[in-house]
Amino acid sequence: MKIVDLDGYGLNPGDLDWAGFKQLGDFSNYDRTPADPAIIAKRIGDAEAILTNKTPITRDVLEACPNLHYIGVLATGFNVVDLVAAREHHVTVTNIPSYGTDAVAQHTFALLLEITNQVGLHNNAIHAGEWTHAKDFTFWKRPLMELTGKTLGLIGAGNISQAVAKRAHTFGMKVIFYNHRPKATDLSWFKQVPLQTVYEQADIISLHIPQTAENTGMINAAALAQMKPGAILINTARGGLLDETAVAAALNAGKLGALGADVVAAEPILADNPLLTAKNCYLTPHIAWAPTETRARLMSIAVHNLVAYQAGQPINVVS
Give me the sign of the Cα torsion angle 281, 236, 225, 145.
negative
CATH 3.40.50.720 fits 101-283, yes or no: yes
Domain definitions of the chain by residue range: 2-99+292-310, 101-283
Specify the CATH superfamily of domain 2-99+292-310.
Answer: NAD(P)-binding Rossmann-like Domain (3.40.50.720)
pLDDT tens digits, one per residue of 6-43:
999 999 999 999 999 999 999 999 999 999 999 999 99
Q: In what order do the strands lie in the sheet with 49-52?
A: 26-29, 2-5, 49-52, 70-73, 92-94
For the stretch 181-216, pLDDT in tens is: 998 888 889 999 999 999 999 999 999 999 999 999
The model's pLDDT over 91-135, given as tens digits with 9 standing for 90+, comes to 999 999 999 999 999 999 999 999 999 999 999 999 999 999 999
Q: Which of 107, 238, 244, 295 is catalytic?
A: 238
Q: Which residue is catalytic, options 63, 130, 146, 267? A: 267
Catalytically annotated residue among 286, 293, 295, 304: 286
| pLDDT of amino acid 173 | 98
Sign of the four-CA dihedral 188, 110, 202, 150: positive
pLDDT in tens, 145-184: 999 999 999 999 999 999 999 999 999 999 999 999 998 8
- Report how far residue 107's alpha carbon sits from residue 120's, in angstroms, rounded to the nearest whole number: 15
CA distance 292 to 290: 6
Q: Catalytic: 169?
A: no
pTM (predicted TM-score): 0.93
Catalytic residue status for 238: yes
State the Cα–Cα distance between residues 194 and 202, nearest whole angstrom: 12
